């Protein structure tokens, strides 16, 4: 094997190998958007975030406008504080409602933003005041069974209907 | 009688283990020598890496395509076929990439390394080297060891990349999943730190294991034609088993409590 | 008349002793000793043959001299240095002064002929490439294979491979060259060529040579002194003239190639009658 041909092949091999690692890191692992510091941050408090994870998408009208950047528990209020990173170019009104939603029955958990009618816009570091927590299936079922037991079967239809409604609206502030 | 046999087997395997440990230490001690002779290591990267390219790229492509077909079949039952990208990327990057590339690497490059060193021993080339006051560990073993360690992660990354490309071909081009959701969901679900970096760590560990087993078996092969063929078989078997066992151990440590 | 002990050699060769073995015993495992009390002294500048049947421990002697094996008893010294006391670095320093030709050449199959001969130079010297090129071509010229420099070892005939290995063995101008079966498996012409080369290099470069072989005719033509080894012991020794004239049983059997003699034709076995008694 000629020395320079060997060098060339090893060069090609290492180059495409490193390119593959870069491809996996940037295109598949999406490393680029992590280091991409453009955009601004918003905070939102939730009673319960359910299965929300870091780097979950933030969507407005189904369009991804940002990512979940941080999740922590407020030690005083025992509420989850979620930091959202919104891409530059998207603005939302002060009365925007943030809700934790699930795409499909088993799909990924994401945060949906519904903009309101306020003319003032949220700026970097602002807190979204209107939030809707995740619907936790176990709690829902638990409450349903509890209500049913407490009601002694008088009005199963009424209490059964009320429980999910309460759970769903209870989180709205 | 049976007990005696068990005892003898235990003693000989412990002996062999100690042998291997001392040998690994010797190879690591000779690491600077191999790095100083960069040209030799480059040569070995050529033999273990470049010559494994075709099998890795082709297998990666097909594994990705099959994953996409099978994954699509299951995912459509739950109406989650846009998660195909996630399924393929996670299984490739975390498991299949390092493991299958490692197995292929063991049977393609590992066996070749063992056979080559074993043959050098059989034809007294290693003895000749020793008599020329050149340490075969530094001249023959260490470059092959480090060549393997460099090649393996690159091959695993190429395998995963080809797999994802194959899944893209089948999922997006053939079946017609939306390209945006294919890539978008994948990017949303694959984490750089947990998935990509851990996958690379796995492939490095497998590279070390396979290269070490290959040079060890070659260096300690009985210097006969039969000895070399036995050693080559042992390399493939031992490497494959250690890849699978190490994969389990690493996975337990890496993805424990991640809840994914 | 073969001399019974090496002291007889000393007065006839007043030169310095290059290699000396005194009471050397060795065995790969405890039950089967390969060598049992070998005494040998090889004067500087001489060409000495160690002869014996296959598997009698000839190659083991070379490995002991080169320090690849350690003797269980006795003392081996090369140029006055006790081999057994050397540490790894000392051993490597000693080996740089020793060239060795292995049984089938042991050329590095992944290197060209040129690179094979250049190998010891590249490993042990910092000579510039042009100088190495000249030196290698000179060594190859000495064995008549300058034209084959760019061939691969797999493209060489057995005799050519042996000559390339010889060029490699003398690459660093050693003081001692050891030959392990240099004549094995060669056709008569190659055999003559290799034999003459060994003699010529020995005289021209002033090196000491030890040839391990079972080829009695070729050895008688070229060597200065012969040791006969059988069952781990030196059974006879002498100059070629003495060997030709010898009447000792082992030497005669070896020189004449008789199938039976002191070295029996039959592997030790039960008496013939006893063995076949059952069948009858």
Element (H, E) at B138: none
Kindly list the residues from chain C whose CB atom is less than 8 angstroms away from the CB atom of residue B144: none
Kindly list the residues from chain B whose CB atom is less than 8 angstroms away from the CB atom of residue A13: 45-46, 49-50, 53, 151, 154
Domain residues for the domain of B241 are 7-253
Q: Out of C66, C108, C110, whose CB is closest to B131?
A: C66
Residue A131: which residues within 8 A CB-CB, separation 6 or more? A44, A45, A46, A97, A98, A99, A171, A172, A173
- Each residue's pLDDT tens digit, A23-46: 888 888 776 655 455 788 888 888
Tokens 């002498």: give the residue: C238
Contact A57 B53 (CB under 8 A): no
Exposed, middle or buried: residue C220 (CB in 10 Å: 0-12, 13-18, 19+)?
middle
Residue B5: which residues within 8 A CB-CB, separation 6 or more? none
Number of domains in chain C: 1
Tell me which of B93 and C73 has the higher pLDDT: B93
Any CB–CB contact under 8 A between A34 and chain B? yes
Any CB–CB contact under 8 A between A11 and chain B? no
Task: Report whether B63 contacts B165 (CB < 8 A).
Answer: no
Q: With 90 as the cut, is the pLDDT of residue B215 above it? A: yes
- Quickly state the pLDDT bin for B259 (edges 50, 70, 90): very low
Q: What is the pLDDT of residue A104?
A: 67
Contact B80 A27 (CB under 8 A): no
Q: Which residue of chain A has the CA closest to B151?
A: A14
Please report, for the domain that includes residue C271, its CATH number.
3.40.50.300
Going across the sheet that includes C73-78, the strands are C32-43, C17-29, C73-78, C81-82
Contact B132 C104 (CB under 8 A): no
Q: What is the pLDDT of residue C254?
A: 77
Tell me which of C180 and A107 has the higher pLDDT: C180
Query: Are residue A94 and residue A25 in the same domain, yes or no?
Result: no
Asked whether residue C1 is assigned to any structural domain, the reply reads no
Asked whether residue C100 is assigned to any structural domain, the reply reads yes
Asked whether residue B68 is assigned to any structural domain, the reply reads yes
Q: What is the 3-state secondary structure (H, E, C) of chain C?
A: CCCCCHHHHHHHCCCCEEEEEEEEEEEEECCEEEEEEEEEEEECCCEEEEECCCCCCHHHHHHHHCCCCCCCEEEEEECCEEHHHCCHHHHHHHHCCEEEEECCECCCCCCCHHHHHHHHHHHHCCCCHHHHHHHHHHHHHHCCCHHHCCCCHHHCCHHHHHHHHHHHHCCCCCCEEEEECCCCCCCHHHHHHHHHHHHHHHHHHCCEEEEEECCHHHHHHHCCEEEEEECCEEEEEECHHHHHHCCCHHHHHHHHCCCCCCCCCCCCCCCHHHHHHCCC
Asked whether residue C66 is assigned to any structural domain, the reply reads yes
Query: Are residue A94 and residue A13 in the same domain, yes or no?
Result: no
Q: Which residue of chain C has the CA closest to B44?
A: C110
- Each residue's pLDDT tens digit, C59-81: 888 888 888 888 888 888 888 88
Q: What is the pLDDT of residue C124?
A: 86
Query: Are residue A43 and residue A128 in the same domain, yes or no?
Result: yes
Any CB–CB contact under 8 A between B132 and chain C? yes
Any CB–CB contact under 8 A between C158 and chain B? no
Contact B125 C95 (CB under 8 A): no
Query: Are residue A49 and residue A19 in the same domain, yes or no?
Result: no
Contact C123 B130 (CB under 8 A): no
Q: Out of B93, B151, B154, whose CB is closest to A28?
A: B93
Kindly list the residues from chain B whose CB atom is less than 8 angstroms away from the CB atom of residue C120: 132, 134
User: CA-based Rg of chain A, rounded to a whole angstrom?
Assistant: 23
Contact B119 C123 (CB under 8 A): no
Size of interface A-B (CB pairs under 8 A): 93
Min Cα distance B167 → chain A (Å) is 13
Tell me which of C197 and B66 has the higher pLDDT: B66
Min Cα distance A78 → chain B (Å) is 22
- Quickly state the pLDDT bin for B113 (edges 50, 70, 90): very high
Query: Are residue A69 and residue A153 in the same domain, yes or no?
Result: no
CA atoms of A83 and A67, how far apart (whole Å): 9
Q: Which residue of chain A has the CA closest to B41?
A: A10
- Each residue's pLDDT tens digit, C128-162: 989 999 999 988 988 888 888 889 988 988 888 88
Domain residues for the domain of A25 are 3-32
What one-character-per-residue DSSP string does B142-182 give?
HHHHHHHHHHHHHHHHHHHHHHHHHHHIIIIIII---HHHH
The predicted complex's ipTM stands at 0.84
Contact B134 C120 (CB under 8 A): yes
Q: Which residue of chain B has the CA closest to A33?
A: B187
Asked whether residue B2 is assigned to any structural domain, the reply reads no
User: CA-based Rg of chain C, rounded to a whole angstrom?
Assistant: 20
Number of domains in chain A: 3
Any CB–CB contact under 8 A between C122 and chain B? no
Q: Out of C68, C100, C106, whose CB is closest to B125?
A: C106
Helices (H), chain B: 2-29, 31-36, 38-48, 53-77, 84-90, 97-105, 111-122, 125-131, 136, 142-168, 179-189, 198-219, 225-255
Compute the mean pLDDT over every residue in chain B, rounded to the nearest whole number.
Answer: 89
Asked whether residue B258 is assigned to any structural domain, the reply reads no
Q: Which residue of chain B has the CA closest to C67?
A: B131
State the virtual CA torsion across A27, A32, A38, A39 in degrees, nearest 10: 50
Q: Out of B46, B89, B153, whose CB is closest to A28?
A: B89
Min Cα distance B217 → chain C (Å) is 20
Distances (CA, A) of A85 to A25, A57, B11, C149, C156: 20, 10, 61, 68, 71
pTM: 0.75
Contact C119 B125 (CB under 8 A): no
- Each residue's pLDDT tens digit, A68-120: 888 888 888 888 899 888 888 888 888 888 988 887 666 678 888 888 888 88
Contact B187 A64 (CB under 8 A): no
Question: What are the φ/ψ torsions at residue A94 (nearest 5 degrees)?
Answer: -60, -30
- Quickly state the pLDDT bin for B217 (edges 50, 70, 90): very high
Number of domains in chain B: 1
Domain residues for the domain of C152 are 6-277
Contact C106 B123 (CB under 8 A): yes
């Amino acid at each position: 094997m000629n020395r320079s041909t060997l060098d060339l092949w090893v060069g090609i091999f290492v180059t495409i190998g490193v390119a593959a690692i870069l491809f996996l890191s940037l295109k598949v692992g999406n490393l680029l958007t992590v280091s991409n510091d453009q955009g601004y941050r918003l905070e939102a408090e939730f009673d319960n975030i359910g299965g929300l994870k870091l780097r979950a998408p933030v969507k407005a009208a189904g369009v991804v406008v940002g990512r979940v950047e941080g999740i922590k528990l407020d030690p005083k209020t025992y509420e989850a504080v979620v930091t959202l990173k919104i891409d530059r170019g998207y603005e939302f009104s002060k009365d925007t409602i943030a809700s934790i939603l699930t795409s499909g029955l088993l799909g990924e958990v994401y945060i949906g933003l519904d903009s309101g009618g306020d003319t003032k816009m949220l700026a970097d570091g602002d807190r979204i005041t209107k939030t809707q927590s995740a619907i936790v299936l176990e709690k829902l079922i638990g409450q349903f069974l509890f209500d049913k037991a407490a009601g002694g079967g008088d009005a199963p239809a009424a209490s059964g209907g009320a429980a999910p409604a309460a759970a769903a609206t209870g989180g709205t502030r | 009688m049976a007990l005696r046999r068990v005892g003898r087997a235990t003693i000989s395997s412990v002996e062999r283990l100690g042998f291997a440990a001392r040998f690994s230490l010797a190879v690591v001690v000779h690491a600077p020598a191999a790095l100083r002779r960069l040209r030799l290591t480059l040569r070995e990267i050529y033999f273990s890496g470049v010559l494994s390219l075709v099998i890795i790229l082709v297998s990666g492509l097909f594994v990705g395509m099959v994953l996409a077909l099978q994954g699509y079949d299951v995912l459509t039952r739950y109406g989650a076929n846009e998660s195909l990208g996630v399924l393929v990327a996670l299984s490739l990057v975390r498991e299949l990439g390092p493991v299958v590339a490692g197995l292929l690497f063991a049977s393609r490059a590992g066996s070749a390394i063992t056979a080559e060193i074993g043959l050098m021993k059989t034809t007294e080339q290693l003895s000749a080297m020793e008599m020329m006051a050149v340490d075969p560990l530094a001249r023959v073993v260490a470059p092959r060891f480090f060549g393997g360690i460099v090649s393996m992660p690159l091959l695993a990354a190429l395998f995963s990349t080809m797999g994802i490309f194959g899944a893209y071909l089948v999922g997006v081009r053939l079946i017609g999943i939306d390209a945006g959701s294919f890539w978008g969901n994948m990017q949303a679900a694959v984490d750089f730190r947990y998935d990509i970096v851990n996958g690379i760590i796995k492939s490095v560990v497998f590279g070390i294991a396979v290269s070490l087993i290959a040079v060890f078996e070659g260096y300690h092969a009985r210097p006969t034609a039969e000895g070399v063929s036995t050693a080559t078989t042992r390399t493939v078997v031992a490497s494959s088993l250690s890849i699978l066992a190490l994969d389990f151990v690493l996975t337990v440590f890496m993805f424990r409590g991640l809840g994914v | 008349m073969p001399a019974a002990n090496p002291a007889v050699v000393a007065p006839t060769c007043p030169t310095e002793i290059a290699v000396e073995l005194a009471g050397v015993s060795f065995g790969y495992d405890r039950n089967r000793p390969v060598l049992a009390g070998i005494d040998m002294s090889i004067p500087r500048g001489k060409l000495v043959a160690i002869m014996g049947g296959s598997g009698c421990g000839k190659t083991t002697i070379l490995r002991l001299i080169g320090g690849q094996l350690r003797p269980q008893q006795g003392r081996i010294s090369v140029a006055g240095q006790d081999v057994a006391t050397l540490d790894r670095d000392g051993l490597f320093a000693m080996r740089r002064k020793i060239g060795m030709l292995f049984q089938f050449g042991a050329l590095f199959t992944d290197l060209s002929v040129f690179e094979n001969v250049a190998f010891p130079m590249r490993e042990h010297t910092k000579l510039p490439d042009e100088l190495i090129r000249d030196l290698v071509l000179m060594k190859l010229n000495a064995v008549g294979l300058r034209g084959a420099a760019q061939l691969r070892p797999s493209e060489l005939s057995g005799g050519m491979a042996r000559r390339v290995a010889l060029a490699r063995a003398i690459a660093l101008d050693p003081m001692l060259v050891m030959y392990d079966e240099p004549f094995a498996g060669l056709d008569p012409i190659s055999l003559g060529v290799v034999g003459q080369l060994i003699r010529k290099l020995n005289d021209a470069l002033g090196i000491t040579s030890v040839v391990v072989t079972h080829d009695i005719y070729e050895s008688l033509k070229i060597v200065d002194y012969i040791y006969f080894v059988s069952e781990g012991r030196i059974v006879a020794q002498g100059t070629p003239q003495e060997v030709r004239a010898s009447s000792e049983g082992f030497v005669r059997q070896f020189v004449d190639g008789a199938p039976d003699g002191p070295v029996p034709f039959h592997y030790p076995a039960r008496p013939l009658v006893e063995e076949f008694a059952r069948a009858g």
